[in-house]
Structure 1
Amino acid sequence: MSDSTVHAIAGAGGGIISMALTYPLITISSRQQVQKNGKSKDAYKSTLDAVQKIVAKEGIAGLYSGLDSALFGISLTNYCYYYFYEFTKSVINKAQMSTIESMSAGAVAGAATVLITNPIWVINTRIATRNAGTPDQKPLGTIETAAQMIKEGGLKTFWQGVAPALILVANPIIQYTVFEKFKAKIAKTRALTSFDFFLLGAISKLAATSITYPYIVVKSRMQLKKSDDAKERYDSIMDGFRKIIKYEGVAGLYKGISSKIVQSILTASFLFMAQAKLVDYVARLLVSLGVRAQPKRI
């Protein structure tokens, strides 16, 4: 197996670990993003308020709504991203890529990943936000949600929000470019530690999320079931921006950003730290299984 596959498997494993550790923050952030009426009694006023209301109405399990689809989604997302990113790097075939080359590798990997995994994240967004406005609804699992989506809107429903998701390819491009540049600088002076990977993951994700967050809000809302109310329905990215600003103000574009930034930073930090550790373990495991050649000793 190629190095691209090794990195992809390690990335999938790191994604599962980081997602499992930070999922309640994802649930809270997703619900705040799609929350349009911030004045109702059920509205989440803050991260702590969201935790209290979700636990009171749905129990601890409410914080983990859609975890199964999210774990599957993040493993597939990270597998695809790392595979295409490392494959593109191997095609460029340089030990140290320029900023443009690094961004190009990220763009190829990100676009391929979005097109493959968008259906999973549409399902996850619907599961995670289902109880936000109507807590008495019967919870639906991944298969039931997918079946309901097909019944209501056909297969095209699985690619709702794909346009802003493709624009959000900029998020990992920014993240991995910042990460690679700082990593290269540190590597020139000393060997990187697990804490270095944790810290670099935090810094790179903070930069990426802060810049792209309004698109994350629009994407989350476009992935929901389309409303019959023209005011609630977003027909395009710009239509989403226009209606959010008109009815909720500029602040509407940043709903849930505090919990999202904390979640994103922790997720990226755990991901980079775990992925860096898992690469060697995965490589050795594949060699022991006979599906990867023993690396040549120099």
Structure 2
Amino acid sequence: MSDNVAHALAGAGGGIISMAVTYPLITVGTRLQVQRNSNDAAAYSGNMDALRKILEQEGVAGLFSGLESALFGAAVTNGVYYYFFEAVKALFEKASKRSSMNTVESMVSGAVAGAMTCIITNPIWVVNTRLTVKQKRQKAIADAGDGAVAEEGQTTLQAFAEIIREDGVLSLWQGLIPALILVINPIIQYTAFEQLKNRVERFRKLGSLDFFVLGAISKLCATSITYPYILVKSRMQLKQSKNESERYASLADGLRKVIAQEGIAGLYKGIESKLLQSVLTASFLFMSKEALFSYAVKLLIVIGARRSMAAAH
């Protein structure tokens, strides 16, 4: 069995660790992204205000709304991504007889892996986005009406079933088009990471701190460039409003309406917490994934899914 399975397992484990560590930042960032009316009394004026209000109104548990689906999503997303990325990478290296990919090959590997990941995992993130933005305080529930009481304390499976029941199966792929366009995010991230790693490895062996720093740099570049698309994707994954001015028919329509209603600055709501979360998540992911890879190989050998190097020779 090739190493792409071991990379997938290590990536899944790294995804769980990085998601658990940074999840409160995801909650704050996501709620700011989907907030359209900043003048409402209950609106968040910024990252620190959102953090304070969530803690006051929902407690620490409010910062972890939807964590269950997020951990599952992180494991599946990173597992699928690394599986396909390493599989395509192995094909390129075998064909070129080189031990590393060039920039174009890195981008193609990232595109294939990113597209497969989006299609397979989009339903998980639709459920997670809806759970993450739920306001659990009693006042919000009372004011919202229209079945909001029944949604209090929803589990991931309950939210999943409700989305299918009310909006149909295809609604689980809401936001898929911007998500596919956002494949450019991991393309930029992993291409930058691979090229930086290759350059550093010419001079010395990389350690955990190197993977942490390289992961941070590569993700900072990717998220800064693609943030407006991330914001529109988050809004499209919510239950769509019946109000035409708040309904996004497409990615372009969403970008146009955000600019018209909230200005250019509206495209960057919550970017501070998103950048911090993305950079930390990527850093912990790359660092923990590399650390877990050897354990994943040993696990596959133990269960007989992979031969040891000694046996192979």
Q: When the two structures are superposed, what TM-score results if normalisation uses the length of structure 1?
A: 0.97
Q: Give me the whole-angstrom Cα distance separating, in 2, the residues matched to 1:139 and 1:40.
A: 25
From 178, 190, 212, give the equivalent of 1:198. 212
Q: Secondary structure at the match of 2:134?
A: helix
- Report the equivalent of 1:147: 161
Could you give the per-residue CA deviations for residues 129-173 of structure 1, whole angstroms, max 9, x where no partner exists? 121897324131111111111111110110000000000000000
Q: Secondary structure at the match of 1:224?
A: coil
Q: Secondary structure at the match of 1:130?
A: coil
Cα distance, 1:2 vs structure 2: 2.0
Unmatched 5+ stretches in structure 1: none
Could you give the per-residue CA deviations for residues 53-95 of structure 1, whole angstroms, max 9, x where no partner exists? 0111111100000000000001000000000000001111241
User: Percent of counterpart pairs with the same letter?
Assistant: 56
Which has the larger displacement, 171-180 or 148-157?
A: 148-157
- Report the equivalent of 1:130: 134
- 1:81-120 to 2 correspondence within 5 Å? 81-93=81-93, 94-120=98-124
Q: When the two structures are superposed, what TM-score results if normalisation uses the length of structure 2?
A: 0.93
Unmatched 5+ stretches in structure 2: 142-147
Q: Structure 1 counterpart of 2:121, which letter? A: T
2:49 pairs with 1:49: yes
Q: Give me the whole-angstrom Cα distance separating, in 2, the residues matched to 1:120 and 1:127.
A: 11
- Report the equivalent of 2:11: 11
2:58 pairs with 1:58: yes
- Superposed CA RMSD in Å reads 1.4
Q: Give me the whole-angstrom Cα distance separating, in 2, the residues matched to 1:249 and 1:152.
A: 32
Q: Structure 1 counterpart of 2:73, which letter? A: G
2:246 pairs with 1:241: no
Q: Structure 1 counterpart of 2:172, which letter? A: F
Q: Residue 58 of structure 1 contacts residue 135 of structure 1 at CA under 8 Å; is this kept in 2?
A: no
Which has the larger displacement, 92-101 or 157-166?
A: 92-101
Q: Give me the whole-angstrom Cα distance separating, in 1, the residues matched to 2:302 and 2:249.
A: 52
Q: Structure 2 counterpart of 1:71, which letter? A: L
- Report the equivalent of 1:219: 233
